[in-house]
Structure 1
Amino acid sequence: MADLHSTFTEFDDIIKLSSKKKETLRTSRNSIRTDIEKYFEEKREKHTVSFKGQGSFMMHTTIQPLSKEYDVDDGVYIFGKEEDRPTPQTAHNWIYDAVKNRTSSESLDKNTCIRVIYKSDYHVDLPIYYKVEKSDNENTLDDEVPEIAHLSKGWIQSDPYAFKKWFDDQSKGKSQLKRIVRYLKAWSDKKQNDNAKLIFPSGMIFTILASNYYVENDRDDLSLLETLKKIQSNIDDIRFEFINYECYRPTVDKNENLLDKYSSETTKNNFLNALDSFINSGDQAIELESKKDACSKWQKHLGDRFPCLSIKEEKSNSSARVFTTPDQVSFDNKSAK
């Protein structure tokens, strides 16, 4: 059977953020924090501000998207008395005013955040939270559930930092799990890059599904395949009886089925059919003797970045197809199922 563990770890090195890119994103994030701190020091006497990084950047599961546009999420936490709580729009206005001159691109006021756009290839999203100031003036971010300034829903409970802590616990000592999450995101990114109309579940959903149904193995190809199968057997209500198409948050709001947003007949069928196809190709890849032929099966779903060209067959008399150019890779993949 073809063992492509080393090919998968090479792929992970290709898709994950480099140390240089991480430092660039961190520097931009910190500059924005300085702008906001200065604004509150000068213009907001009744409020203080703090920050908590959140999202895939902080969980180390960010991938290099095919679109080349990265994103960083940095939570802005405003502390003040209950009677001094601003409206969500006012809170958005404060943060917008604080960062509007950070870059030459105009910042965006979105429903759940302020977005600061860097032309080089990334943006920083700033969701805004409010926490009631404690009487002892010891404001913390780790006790009560904060409320996010949602322009259409008002102030609602939301705690992405708690989600980060949950994933930190799930992935502690499991570097393979983080790689599995990145592989799933790369699969989703490739599918949606191929078809702009295709809607796949969010990175948060893939993170939850991978964590809930992770199957450890010494080989990443086997771990990914068995994790995919376990995910399928727990959410695919088309192919399995007595199964619900569900993925619940492990933190606030625990009653929210995140897959509801992706439950229209077309969206759900596209996703579950793609999942089934991914699994079928993985099964075929595992059974093949030729690593190059096996690689073409995985590459169909993970894209041309999956490094088939670097594979060398162990047997000199292998009858495997020889991959010489990306075009030939694409042509050979037409036979992959």
Structure 2
Amino acid sequence: MADLHSTFTEFDGTIRLPSQKKDTLRGSRNSIRKDIKKYFDEKRDKHTVSFKGQGSYMMNTTIKPISSEYDLDDGVYIFGKEEDRPNVQTAHNWIFNAVKNRTSSESLDKNTCVRVIYKSDYHVDLPIYYKTDNSNDEYALDDEIPELAHLSKGWIQSDPYAFKKWFDEQAKSRSQLKRIVRYLKAWSDKKQNDNFSLRFPSGMVFTILASNYLVENERDDISLLETLKSIQSNIDNTRFNFASYECFRPTVDKNENLLDRYSADTTKSNFLNALDSFIKSGEQAIELQSKKDACAKWQKHLGNRFPCLSINEDKSNSSARVFSSPDQLSFDNKSA
């Protein structure tokens, strides 16, 4: 059986956020924070502001995108009395005005955040929260649930920092988890880069699924395959009678099924078929004797960045095994 653990760890080194880029993102984030603090110091008498990092950057699961931009999320927390709470558009306006001159690109006011765009291939999203209990500890988990300024829904409870703390606990004793999350994100990125109309679940969904259904193994290739199979057996209700197409948040809102957003017939079938195809390729790869042949199986799903060229072996080890029922993707007819 072909052991590709070292190939997977090499792939992880290729796709994970480089330290130099991480420093660049951190520097831009800190500059934006200074702009916002200055704006509040000069223009807001009844409110103060602080920040909490959130998202994949803080959880160390960011991957290098194939063709899209890096995304950094930094929560902006406005503190004030309940009677001084602004409407959501006003809160967005404050942050937009504070950062609008930070770069030469025009900032965007989106439903859930203000976005600062950097031309060097990344952007910083600034979701805006309101709280009455001011905590100066950026790393503390407060009792009061923050409320997000959502332009279409109003003020809604949301606590992404609590999610970050939850994931930290999940990964504390399972060092393999973050690598598996990055592999799943790389798979999603590759599939959507191949077909821009294809809609896969979010990185948060893959993070939760990997955390809930991780199967640890000393080899990353086996761990990934068994984790994919565990995910499938729990969410693919088209193939398994006792599965439920569900992925609930572990934090607020715990009643929200995040897969509901991806439940349209075509979206759901494309995702579940792609998952099934990935699993079949992984099963074939594990059984092959040739590392190069096994690598090619994984590469079809993880992309050309998966380092098959670095594998050296005697051609006599190449497998001639023929699979009588190659798995198919329903949306593009590519073999596994």
TM-score (norm 2): 0.93
Q: CA 1:274/1:226 → structure 2, altered by over 3 Å: closer, same or farther?
A: same
1:190 equivalenced with 2:193 (yes/no): no
Q: Could you tell me how far apart the structure 2 residues matched to 1:310 and 1:132 are?
A: 56
Q: Could you tell me how far apart the structure 2 residues matched to 1:46 and 1:154 are?
A: 21
1:97 equivalenced with 2:97 (yes/no): yes
Q: CA 1:242/1:318 → structure 2, altered by over 3 Å: closer, same or farther?
A: closer
1:306 equivalenced with 2:306 (yes/no): yes
Q: Could you tell me how far apart the structure 2 residues matched to 1:239 and 1:117 are?
A: 42
Q: Could you tell me how far apart the structure 2 residues matched to 1:160 and 1:138 are?
A: 16
Secondary structure, counterpart of 2:317 in structure 1: coil
Residues 179-230 of structure 1: CA deviation (Å, up to 9, x unaligned)? 0000000000000000011000000000000000000000000000000000
- Residue 288 of structure 2 contacts residue 319 of structure 2 at CA under 8 Å; is this kept in 1? no
Which residue in 1 is equivalent to 2:330?
Answer: none
Q: CA 1:86/1:5 → structure 2, altered by over 3 Å: closer, same or farther?
A: same
Q: CA 1:124/1:280 → structure 2, altered by over 3 Å: closer, same or farther?
A: same
Q: Could you tell me how far apart the structure 1 residues matched to 2:212 and 2:33 are?
A: 34
Q: Could you tell me how far apart the structure 1 residues matched to 2:136 and 2:302 are?
A: 51
Q: CA 1:22/1:154 → structure 2, altered by over 3 Å: closer, same or farther?
A: same
What amino acid is aligned across from residue 318 of structure 2 in structure 1?
Answer: S
What amino acid is aligned across from residue 155 of structure 1 in structure 2?
Answer: W
Q: Could you tell me how far apart the structure 2 residues matched to 1:316 and 1:261 are?
A: 47
Secondary structure, counterpart of 2:304 in structure 1: coil
Count of equivalent residues:
323
Secondary structure, counterpart of 1:225 in structure 2: helix
Which residue in 2 is equivalent to 1:326?
Answer: none
1:84 equivalenced with 2:77 (yes/no): no
Which residue in 1 is equivalent to 2:24?
Answer: 24
What amino acid is aligned across from residue 241 of structure 1 in structure 2?
Answer: N
- Per the TM alignment, residue 242 of structure 1 is displaced from its structure 2 partner at its CA by 2.3
- Per the TM alignment, residue 143 of structure 1 is displaced from its structure 2 partner at its CA by 1.7
- Residue 296 of structure 1 contacts residue 336 of structure 1 at CA under 8 Å; is this kept in 2? no
What amino acid is aligned across from residue 237 of structure 2 in structure 1?
Answer: D
Moved runs in structure 1, 4+ residues, more than 6 A?
Answer: 136-140
Q: Gapped runs of 5+ residues in structure 1? A: 322-333
**Percent identity at matched positions?**
79
Which residue in 2 is equivalent to 1:328?
Answer: none
Q: CA 1:166/1:141 → structure 2, altered by over 3 Å: closer, same or farther?
A: closer
Q: Gapped runs of 5+ residues in structure 2? A: 321-332
- Residue 112 of structure 2 contacts residue 149 of structure 2 at CA under 8 Å; is this kept in 1? yes
- Residue 248 of structure 2 contacts residue 254 of structure 2 at CA under 8 Å; is this kept in 1? yes
Aligned residue runs from structure 1 range 258-337, under 5 A: 258-313=258-313, 315=314, 317-319=316-318, 336-337=335-336
Aligned residue runs from structure 1 range 124-139, under 5 A: 124-133=124-133
Secondary structure, counterpart of 1:317 in structure 2: helix
Q: Could you tell me how far apart the structure 2 residues matched to 1:154 and 1:141 are?
A: 23
- Residue 293 of structure 2 contacts residue 318 of structure 2 at CA under 8 Å; is this kept in 1? no
